[in-house]
Amino acid sequence: MPLQLRILLDTNILIPLQDSLAVLVPNLAHVMEMCNGRHRLVYHPASVRDIERDRDPERRERTLARVNQYHRLPEGPACPWNNGAGLSENDQCDNSILYALQRDAAHVLVTEDRGLHAKALARGLDARVYFIQTIEDLLSRLHEPATVELPDIVEVELNELTDQLGEPFFDSLRNGYAPFDNWFREKAREGRHAWIYRHPLANDLSAICIYDVQTDEEITDTNERLQGRALKLCTFKVGELVRGRKIGELFLKMAFRYATANACEHVFIEVRENANPDLGHPELIALLQDFGFSRVGSRNGDGVYVKHHPIAAPIADPAAADRFEYTRQFYPHYRADQDIRKFIIPIKPRYHNVLFPDHPDNNGHRPLGHGEHVGNAIKLAYLSHSPSRQVRRGDVVLFYRGYDWQSLTTLVVVEDFMTLRDPNLIAQKVSRRTVYTDAEIAQMARHPTGVRVMLFRTIEHFEQVVPRNQIPRQVRGNIQSTREIDDVTFSRILRAARR
């Protein structure tokens, strides 16, 4: 779909638009607001002939006096569909308008005339003919970004923060870019948005990610261009007081979900590079690379890192030695072909609450006694005494929340799976990724079979949890330990989750 549309307005759209005494229906008013300055509204001369037949003389004159504010299409060649006998003047006008659409005088036609929609269907033009409601839906998808929400992250317009520009939080940004304040105010006037994180106790601004959606943007000094829509993370800062809470990963989680919801095919960021951590951002670069960003060049002295974020899942290489690499590179896409094994693993509600505070049915709840940073991450860990040792890197796991929900809730991809007995080694492996306290890890390590340690990345929470009575019969009964499922069962579960 072109970024700028030529929208052909039928007579029944033009008349209420140009009648100064008519009150526009909300949908049409919204359409006009979204078109303003973005799309070209046009009309066909046949509509003028239609208006001239209006039996209300005052309305006719009001409409004719104002219709010229839109672009008038040329008459064009005579419509061959008007050669038949018995056609009314209205039929001839309809045919002329549809013929202009077929000749590509416009991208789409908007009309509330159901008869004209039927004629478009007969001519094979129905995919380009819209009601007010459907064109509103189309333009909304183009121009009104889908919203994404995560616990602890607040979306704001920059103008809500301009009175805080003088605070120490912004000092490092000014030190790195002297005109930062002027740039910030300029973007605030443009209506730029940001995601922010506030300290849970002091409520001070503690982290910020300013973002923008760009199209066909040149991103390097060598004029490399990203084709299509791209999400740019313009400013990315996590303050000292909240380091270690996985806020950077939380921002990336937000960015990936936003990019998915708004059909962005790339995510990119410019990062100051220097081996000295006081002058560069080596930890941020390592985080970006771990999630599939790669350096593509530089711009004004900063490294440019891009993650390709295809709308459709790329075809996987079945011969790839590392089955997890696909997820790292194309997250949140994942492999689920026949070479990937699928499992159901039970999880207790209190651990589910901590790991997945962003689950839609969780209400952001975290039980007392656990660090708040765990659920911020994409990279998480789960420990168990399951007798199964079959799970391996790259496998897909569906978590089953027992007791209260008794439902499948979340899909993850395994990054690593191991059996360990040393509590110190377990703690080292799952540091900042686990819901378990040190005391719980020590207790679990006493088990004679050791501890199954699963490191994973969260892919998605199901739009609809899949309750036990909707789980295919092959896995019915009490789900109290790890179960492998076949591809057919996996597909049925996904269909139930997205019904």
The residue with tokens 């199901």 is 462
Bridge partners (DSSP) of residue 380 are: 456
Distance CA 438, CA 451 (A): 14
Most confident option among 138-152, 379-393, 407-421, 460-474? 407-421
Most confident option among 130-144, 273-287, 417-431? 417-431
Most confident option among 24-28, 240-244, 368-372? 240-244
Confidence at residue 278, expressed as pLDDT on a 0 to 100 scale: 53
User: Quick one: pLDDT band at residue 87, thresholds 50, 70, 90?
Assistant: confident
DSSP letters spanning 167-212: SGGGHHHHHH-TTHHHHHHHHHHTT-EEEEEE-TTT--EEEEEEEE
Confidence at residue 371, expressed as pLDDT on a 0 to 100 scale: 45
In contact, 114 and 229? CB cutoff 8 Å: no
Distance CA 25, CA 214 (A): 32
DSSP letters spanning 41-66: EEE-HHHHHHHHT-S-HHHHHHHHHH
* SS3 category, 438: helix
Classify strands 294-299 and 302-308 as parallel, antiparallel or unpaired: antiparallel
> For 313, which DSSP code?
P
Confidence at residue 161, expressed as pLDDT on a 0 to 100 scale: 95
* Selection from 87, 43, 81 nearest residue 63 by Cα: 43
Confidence at residue 435, expressed as pLDDT on a 0 to 100 scale: 66
Average pLDDT over residues 117-122: 91
Confidence at residue 225, expressed as pLDDT on a 0 to 100 scale: 93
Confidence at residue 276, expressed as pLDDT on a 0 to 100 scale: 56
The residue with tokens 């730029």 is 192
Q: What is the pLDDT of residues 190-215, one digit of tens each?
A: 999 999 998 877 778 999 999 999 99
* SS3 category, 233: strand
* Selection from 174, 171, 157 nearest residue 212 by Cα: 157
Average pLDDT over residues 70-75: 89
Q: Model-level pTM greater than 0.85?
A: no
In contact, 6 and 40? CB cutoff 8 Å: yes
Amino acid identity, position 339: D
Comparing 190-204, 250-264, 474-488, the range with the smallest average pLDDT is 474-488
Widest distance between CA atoms in the chain: 93
Q: Is the pLDDT reported for residue 255 higher than 90? A: yes
Average pLDDT over residues 212-227: 93
User: Quick one: pLDDT band at residue 447, thresholds 50, 70, 90?
Assistant: very high
| Whole-angstrom Cα Rg for the chain | 29
Confidence at residue 151, expressed as pLDDT on a 0 to 100 scale: 73
| C-alpha dihedral (433, 439, 441, 447), degrees to nearest 10 | -170
Q: Do domains 6-143 and 334-497 have the same CATH topology?
A: no
Confidence at residue 459, expressed as pLDDT on a 0 to 100 scale: 94
Confidence at residue 22, expressed as pLDDT on a 0 to 100 scale: 54
CATH: 3.40.50.1010, 3.30.300.130, 3.30.460.80, 1.10.10.10. Which one for 6-143?
A: 3.40.50.1010
Confidence at residue 181, expressed as pLDDT on a 0 to 100 scale: 95
Which fold is adopted by the domain 154-308?
A: Aminopeptidase (3.40.630)
Q: Is the pLDDT reported for residue 279 higher than 60? A: no
Confidence at residue 367, expressed as pLDDT on a 0 to 100 scale: 43
Percent share of the chain, pLDDT over 70: 91
Q: Rounded mean pLDDT of the chain?
A: 86
| C-alpha dihedral (481, 482, 487, 488), degrees to nearest 10 | 0
Q: Write the burial class of residue 441 (CB in 10 Å: 0-12 exposed, 13-18 middle, 19+ buried).
A: buried
Does the structural domain 334-497 have CATH classification 2.30.130.30? yes
Q: How many CA atoms lie within 13 A of 138 on its CB side?
A: 23
Confidence at residue 21, expressed as pLDDT on a 0 to 100 scale: 52
* SS3 category, 225: strand
In contact, 254 and 209? CB cutoff 8 Å: yes
Distance CA 474, CA 485 (A): 8
User: Quick one: pLDDT band at residue 343, thresholds 50, 70, 90?
Assistant: very high
End-to-end CA separation in angstroms for the chain: 28
The pair of three-digit structure tokens given for residue 99, joined into one six-digit string: 């013929």
Distance CA 338, CA 487 (A): 7
Domain coordinates in residue numbering, the chain: 6-143, 154-308, 334-497
Distance CA 279, CA 476 (A): 57
Average pLDDT over residues 126-135: 88
Phi-psi bin for 73: left (phi > 0), alpha (psi -120 to 50), beta? beta
Distance CA 111, CA 129 (A): 7
